[in-house]
Amino acid sequence: MGTPINQLFDLTGRIALVTGGSRGLGLQIAEALGDAGARLMLTARKADELESACAQLQARGIDARWVAADASTPEGVARIVDETCERLGDIDILINNAGATWGAPAEDHPLEAWDKVMDLNVRAVFLISQAVGKRCMIPRGAGRIVNVASIAGLSGNGPAMTTLAYNTSKGAVINFTRALAGEWGRHGITVNALAPGFFPSRMTRGTLARLGEDALAEKAPLRRLGDDDDLKGAAVLFASAAGKHITGQILAVDGGVSAVHGG
Protein backbone atom coordinates (compact mmCIF):
# COMPACT_ATOMS: atom_id res chain seq x y z
CA MET A 1 0.00 0.00 0.00
CA GLY A 2 1.16 3.50 -0.78
CA THR A 3 1.47 6.46 1.56
CA PRO A 4 -1.80 8.25 2.40
CA ILE A 5 -2.10 11.39 0.28
CA ASN A 6 -2.40 13.73 3.24
CA GLN A 7 0.96 12.47 4.51
CA LEU A 8 2.62 13.02 1.16
CA PHE A 9 1.73 16.73 1.27
CA ASP A 10 2.49 17.14 5.00
CA LEU A 11 5.42 19.49 5.70
CA THR A 12 5.34 19.24 9.49
CA GLY A 13 8.80 19.79 10.92
CA ARG A 14 10.30 21.02 7.66
CA ILE A 15 12.27 24.28 7.57
CA ALA A 16 11.50 26.52 4.60
CA LEU A 17 13.37 29.64 3.51
CA VAL A 18 11.38 31.98 1.25
CA THR A 19 13.16 34.85 -0.50
CA GLY A 20 11.00 37.81 -1.41
CA GLY A 21 8.57 36.42 1.15
CA SER A 22 7.21 39.68 2.51
CA ARG A 23 4.45 40.21 -0.06
CA GLY A 24 2.89 39.08 -3.33
CA LEU A 25 3.62 35.61 -4.66
CA GLY A 26 6.30 34.94 -2.06
CA LEU A 27 3.90 35.54 0.79
CA GLN A 28 1.27 33.37 -0.91
CA ILE A 29 3.75 30.50 -1.18
CA ALA A 30 4.92 31.03 2.40
CA GLU A 31 1.32 30.83 3.58
CA ALA A 32 0.83 27.55 1.73
CA LEU A 33 3.98 25.97 3.16
CA GLY A 34 3.11 27.17 6.64
CA ASP A 35 -0.44 25.83 6.42
CA ALA A 36 1.09 22.47 5.41
CA GLY A 37 3.15 22.48 8.61
CA ALA A 38 6.51 24.00 7.65
CA ARG A 39 8.38 26.43 9.88
CA LEU A 40 9.29 29.53 7.91
CA MET A 41 12.06 32.04 7.52
CA LEU A 42 11.11 34.96 5.27
CA THR A 43 13.72 37.24 3.79
CA ALA A 44 13.62 40.44 1.76
CA ARG A 45 15.27 43.83 2.03
CA LYS A 46 12.60 45.80 3.90
CA ALA A 47 12.24 44.97 7.59
CA ASP A 48 8.86 46.65 8.03
CA GLU A 49 7.26 44.58 5.26
CA LEU A 50 8.78 41.38 6.64
CA GLU A 51 7.52 42.13 10.11
CA SER A 52 4.00 42.72 8.77
CA ALA A 53 4.08 39.51 6.73
CA CYS A 54 5.20 37.43 9.70
CA ALA A 55 2.44 38.92 11.82
CA GLN A 56 -0.12 37.83 9.19
CA LEU A 57 1.29 34.31 9.11
CA GLN A 58 1.51 34.04 12.87
CA ALA A 59 -2.14 35.03 13.11
CA ARG A 60 -2.90 31.86 11.09
CA GLY A 61 -0.94 29.80 13.60
CA ILE A 62 2.18 29.52 11.41
CA ASP A 63 5.68 29.56 12.90
CA ALA A 64 7.29 32.37 10.89
CA ARG A 65 10.45 34.42 11.41
CA TRP A 66 12.23 36.99 9.26
CA VAL A 67 15.65 38.35 8.38
CA ALA A 68 16.22 41.47 6.29
CA ALA A 69 19.14 41.21 3.84
CA ASP A 70 20.13 41.63 0.19
CA ALA A 71 20.12 38.16 -1.39
CA SER A 72 22.06 39.39 -4.42
CA THR A 73 25.29 39.76 -2.42
CA PRO A 74 27.45 37.02 -0.87
CA GLU A 75 27.39 38.86 2.46
CA GLY A 76 23.60 39.08 2.45
CA VAL A 77 23.24 35.42 1.54
CA ALA A 78 25.64 34.35 4.29
CA ARG A 79 23.59 36.29 6.82
CA ILE A 80 20.30 34.81 5.60
CA VAL A 81 21.55 31.23 5.69
CA ASP A 82 23.41 31.60 8.99
CA GLU A 83 20.43 33.12 10.78
CA THR A 84 18.00 30.56 9.38
CA CYS A 85 20.16 27.62 10.45
CA GLU A 86 20.89 29.11 13.87
CA ARG A 87 17.30 30.05 14.65
CA LEU A 88 15.37 27.20 13.00
CA GLY A 89 17.79 24.47 11.88
CA ASP A 90 18.96 23.11 8.55
CA ILE A 91 16.96 24.27 5.54
CA ASP A 92 14.83 21.58 3.89
CA ILE A 93 12.99 23.77 1.36
CA LEU A 94 14.29 26.81 -0.52
CA ILE A 95 11.86 29.05 -2.39
CA ASN A 96 13.71 31.44 -4.71
CA ASN A 97 11.03 34.05 -5.26
CA ALA A 98 12.74 37.44 -4.87
CA GLY A 99 12.63 39.36 -8.12
CA ALA A 100 12.52 42.71 -9.87
CA THR A 101 11.36 44.03 -13.22
CA TRP A 102 11.98 47.12 -15.37
CA GLY A 103 10.13 48.44 -18.36
CA ALA A 104 11.99 50.23 -21.14
CA PRO A 105 12.45 49.81 -24.91
CA ALA A 106 15.46 47.60 -25.63
CA GLU A 107 17.28 50.35 -27.48
CA ASP A 108 17.04 52.67 -24.46
CA HIS A 109 17.22 50.15 -21.60
CA PRO A 110 19.53 51.57 -18.89
CA LEU A 111 22.51 49.41 -18.04
CA GLU A 112 22.01 49.98 -14.32
CA ALA A 113 18.44 48.73 -14.60
CA TRP A 114 19.60 45.65 -16.54
CA ASP A 115 22.14 44.91 -13.80
CA LYS A 116 19.57 45.40 -11.03
CA VAL A 117 17.18 42.90 -12.62
CA MET A 118 19.91 40.35 -13.36
CA ASP A 119 21.42 40.66 -9.89
CA LEU A 120 18.18 39.92 -8.07
CA ASN A 121 16.51 37.56 -10.55
CA VAL A 122 19.54 35.43 -11.51
CA ARG A 123 22.61 36.13 -9.38
CA ALA A 124 20.66 35.87 -6.12
CA VAL A 125 19.10 32.56 -7.18
CA PHE A 126 22.57 31.15 -7.87
CA LEU A 127 24.14 32.50 -4.67
CA ILE A 128 21.49 31.32 -2.26
CA SER A 129 20.96 27.95 -3.96
CA GLN A 130 24.71 27.32 -3.81
CA ALA A 131 24.91 28.32 -0.14
CA VAL A 132 21.88 26.32 0.99
CA GLY A 133 22.82 23.32 -1.11
CA LYS A 134 26.38 23.17 0.17
CA ARG A 135 25.54 23.76 3.83
CA CYS A 136 22.21 22.02 4.33
CA MET A 137 21.07 19.80 1.47
CA ILE A 138 24.06 18.03 -0.03
CA PRO A 139 25.44 16.84 3.34
CA ARG A 140 22.06 15.28 4.23
CA GLY A 141 21.29 13.93 0.76
CA ALA A 142 17.91 15.64 0.54
CA GLY A 143 16.32 18.97 -0.32
CA ARG A 144 13.67 20.80 -2.30
CA ILE A 145 14.42 23.92 -4.34
CA VAL A 146 11.56 25.78 -6.01
CA ASN A 147 12.42 28.72 -8.26
CA VAL A 148 9.78 31.26 -9.22
CA ALA A 149 10.26 31.97 -12.91
CA SER A 150 7.54 33.41 -15.16
CA ILE A 151 5.81 32.70 -18.43
CA ALA A 152 7.83 35.74 -19.58
CA GLY A 153 10.80 33.36 -19.61
CA LEU A 154 9.06 30.97 -22.01
CA SER A 155 8.67 33.32 -24.97
CA GLY A 156 9.26 36.81 -26.27
CA ASN A 157 6.98 39.83 -26.07
CA GLY A 158 4.89 41.84 -28.44
CA PRO A 159 5.61 45.56 -28.78
CA ALA A 160 3.28 46.43 -25.90
CA MET A 161 5.59 44.74 -23.37
CA THR A 162 9.08 46.24 -23.14
CA THR A 163 10.62 44.08 -20.41
CA LEU A 164 13.75 42.71 -22.08
CA ALA A 165 15.78 42.30 -18.89
CA TYR A 166 12.93 40.62 -17.02
CA ASN A 167 12.20 38.14 -19.82
CA THR A 168 15.88 37.35 -20.21
CA SER A 169 16.35 36.82 -16.49
CA LYS A 170 13.38 34.48 -16.20
CA GLY A 171 14.59 32.49 -19.20
CA ALA A 172 17.87 32.11 -17.32
CA VAL A 173 16.03 30.90 -14.20
CA ILE A 174 14.25 28.26 -16.28
CA ASN A 175 17.46 26.78 -17.65
CA PHE A 176 19.20 27.21 -14.28
CA THR A 177 16.44 25.01 -12.88
CA ARG A 178 17.01 22.28 -15.47
CA ALA A 179 20.80 22.38 -15.19
CA LEU A 180 20.88 22.31 -11.38
CA ALA A 181 18.31 19.50 -11.29
CA GLY A 182 20.59 17.44 -13.51
CA GLU A 183 23.64 18.13 -11.38
CA TRP A 184 22.15 17.75 -7.90
CA GLY A 185 19.75 14.88 -8.47
CA ARG A 186 22.43 12.48 -7.22
CA HIS A 187 22.26 14.28 -3.88
CA GLY A 188 18.54 13.64 -3.48
CA ILE A 189 17.73 17.29 -4.22
CA THR A 190 14.83 18.18 -6.50
CA VAL A 191 14.89 21.49 -8.37
CA ASN A 192 11.74 22.74 -10.08
CA ALA A 193 10.25 26.05 -11.15
CA LEU A 194 6.87 27.70 -11.12
CA ALA A 195 6.12 29.96 -14.10
CA PRO A 196 3.24 32.24 -13.08
CA GLY A 197 1.24 34.24 -15.56
CA PHE A 198 -0.32 37.54 -14.56
CA PHE A 199 -1.18 37.85 -10.86
CA PRO A 200 -2.22 41.20 -9.39
CA SER A 201 0.76 42.41 -7.35
CA ARG A 202 2.89 45.46 -6.75
CA MET A 203 5.26 44.29 -9.51
CA THR A 204 2.50 43.93 -12.11
CA ARG A 205 0.40 46.92 -11.05
CA GLY A 206 1.70 49.23 -13.78
CA THR A 207 1.29 46.67 -16.57
CA LEU A 208 -2.22 45.77 -15.43
CA ALA A 209 -3.19 49.44 -15.36
CA ARG A 210 -1.66 50.13 -18.79
CA LEU A 211 -2.97 47.09 -20.64
CA GLY A 212 -6.14 46.47 -18.61
CA GLU A 213 -6.90 43.54 -16.34
CA ASP A 214 -9.87 42.47 -18.44
CA ALA A 215 -7.84 42.49 -21.65
CA LEU A 216 -5.09 40.40 -20.07
CA ALA A 217 -7.60 37.99 -18.59
CA GLU A 218 -9.15 37.50 -22.04
CA LYS A 219 -5.85 36.11 -23.31
CA ALA A 220 -6.17 33.15 -20.93
CA PRO A 221 -8.39 30.18 -21.81
CA LEU A 222 -9.71 30.31 -18.24
CA ARG A 223 -10.55 34.02 -18.74
CA ARG A 224 -9.07 35.14 -15.43
CA LEU A 225 -5.88 36.31 -13.75
CA GLY A 226 -4.21 34.45 -10.92
CA ASP A 227 -5.54 34.94 -7.40
CA ASP A 228 -4.32 34.55 -3.81
CA ASP A 229 -4.57 30.75 -3.89
CA ASP A 230 -3.46 29.74 -7.36
CA LEU A 231 0.22 29.04 -6.63
CA LYS A 232 -0.34 27.22 -3.35
CA GLY A 233 -1.02 23.70 -4.57
CA ALA A 234 1.83 23.65 -7.06
CA ALA A 235 4.28 25.05 -4.50
CA VAL A 236 3.39 22.43 -1.90
CA LEU A 237 3.60 19.67 -4.52
CA PHE A 238 7.18 20.64 -5.42
CA ALA A 239 8.15 21.16 -1.76
CA SER A 240 6.73 17.94 -0.36
CA ALA A 241 7.15 14.17 -0.64
CA ALA A 242 4.29 14.24 -3.16
CA GLY A 243 6.79 15.67 -5.66
CA LYS A 244 9.78 13.50 -4.77
CA HIS A 245 10.04 12.04 -8.29
CA ILE A 246 9.65 15.39 -10.08
CA THR A 247 12.75 17.43 -10.88
CA GLY A 248 13.92 19.81 -13.59
CA GLN A 249 10.34 20.71 -14.47
CA ILE A 250 8.74 24.08 -15.22
CA LEU A 251 5.06 24.35 -14.33
CA ALA A 252 3.16 27.27 -15.87
CA VAL A 253 0.41 28.55 -13.58
CA ASP A 254 -1.13 30.99 -16.03
CA GLY A 255 -4.72 30.07 -16.81
CA GLY A 256 -3.55 28.42 -20.04
CA VAL A 257 -1.89 31.46 -21.63
CA SER A 258 1.33 29.67 -22.55
CA ALA A 259 -0.59 26.74 -24.00
CA VAL A 260 -2.27 28.87 -26.64
CA HIS A 261 0.12 31.81 -27.08
CA GLY A 262 3.42 29.95 -27.19
CA GLY A 263 6.07 29.09 -24.67
Q: Tell me: the pLDDT tens digits for 148-197?
A: 999 999 988 766 678 899 999 999 999 999 999 999 999 999 999 999 99
The rounded mean pLDDT for the chain is: 93
> Mean of the pLDDT values across residues 35-46?
97
Q: What is the DSSP letter of 104?
A: B
Round to whole Å and give the CA distance between 233 and 8.
13
Per-residue model confidence as pLDDT tens digits over 208-219: 656 667 777 888
5-256 fold: Rossmann fold (3.40.50)
pLDDT score recorded for residue 206 = 62
pLDDT score recorded for residue 157 = 77
- Which residues have a catalytic role annotated? 166
pLDDT score recorded for residue 161 = 75
Round to whole Å and give the CA distance between 143 and 64.
20
pLDDT score recorded for residue 178 = 98
pLDDT score recorded for residue 262 = 65
pLDDT over 60 at 222, yes or no: yes
Residues 6 or more apart from 145 whose CB is under 8 A from it? 93, 94, 96, 129, 132, 133, 137, 180, 189, 190, 191, 192
pLDDT over 90 at 201, yes or no: no
Round to whole Å and give the CA distance between 96 and 109.
25
Per-residue model confidence as pLDDT tens digits over 223-243: 999 999 999 999 999 999 999
Q: How is the beta sheet containing 15-19 ordered, strand by strand?
A: 64-68, 39-44, 15-19, 93-96, 143-148, 189-196, 250-253
Q: How confident is the model at residue 247 (pLDDT cuts 50, 70, 90)?
A: very high
> Mean of the pLDDT values across residues 125-147?
98
Per-residue model confidence as pLDDT tens digits over 65-116: 999 999 999 999 999 999 999 999 999 999 999 999 888 889 999 999 999 9
User: Do the Cβ atoms of 28 and 49 come closer than 8 Å?
Assistant: no
